[in-house]
């Protein structure tokens, strides 16, 4: 049986990100975009990273142009935007497809685990992958990263 730890990405700067390196740590996986109404959520994702990172939480941003073509730039521009505009210091992957037949394998696994309805509907959809690699929670774009329900799920995993 697959787990969230069975997948890997390429980082925004071209290095491998093996999710198995995060075994024992919860991962908040978020498909992100630079030109979305929800883009200011980067600030709260950074706050989560700062608040919970030392305790083991990994915030992982996955830039995607799948919704409204709101991430049209290339990786260097995305990285610069995130760093200069929001002070992002959590890891970002290279740009990915998160829906449809060409979706990244981790997003296909999420849909298989939780049903097709669990696939992202828009930018800034959040998933919590537990310390054991299982899917522990999913929240749509409108649920803020600093919301009580996300904080409770993270605390339960830490």
* Active site (catalytic) residues: 36
DSSP result, 16-45: EEEGGGGTTS-EEEEEE-TTSTTTTHHHHH
Contact 154, 28 (CB under 8 A): yes
Specify which residues 59 forms β-bridges with: 28
Pair of tokens at residue 47: 């706050």
Residue (of 81, 51, 76, 70) closest to 120 by Cα position: 70
């Amino acid at each position: 049986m697959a787990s969230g730890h069975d997948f890997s990405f390429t980082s925004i700067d071209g290095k491998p990100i093996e999710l198995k390196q995060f075994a024992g740590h919860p991962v908040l996986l978020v498909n992100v975009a630079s030109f979305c109404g929800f883009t200011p959520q980067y600030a709260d994702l950074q706050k989560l990273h700062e608040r919970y990172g030392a305790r083991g939480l990994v915030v992982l941003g996955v830039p995607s142009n799948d919704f409204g073509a709101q991430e049209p730039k290339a990786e260097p521009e995305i990285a610069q935007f995130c760093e200069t505009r929001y002070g992002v210091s959590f890891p970002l992957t290279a740009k990915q497809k998160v829906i449809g037949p060409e979706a990244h394998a981790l997003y296909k696994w999420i849909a298989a685990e939780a049903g097709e309805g669990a696939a992202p509907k828009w930018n800034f959809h959040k998933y919590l992958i537990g310390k054991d690699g299982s899917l522990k929670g999913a929240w749509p774009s409108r649920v803020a990263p600093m919301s009580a329900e996300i904080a409770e799920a993270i605390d339960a995993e830490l």
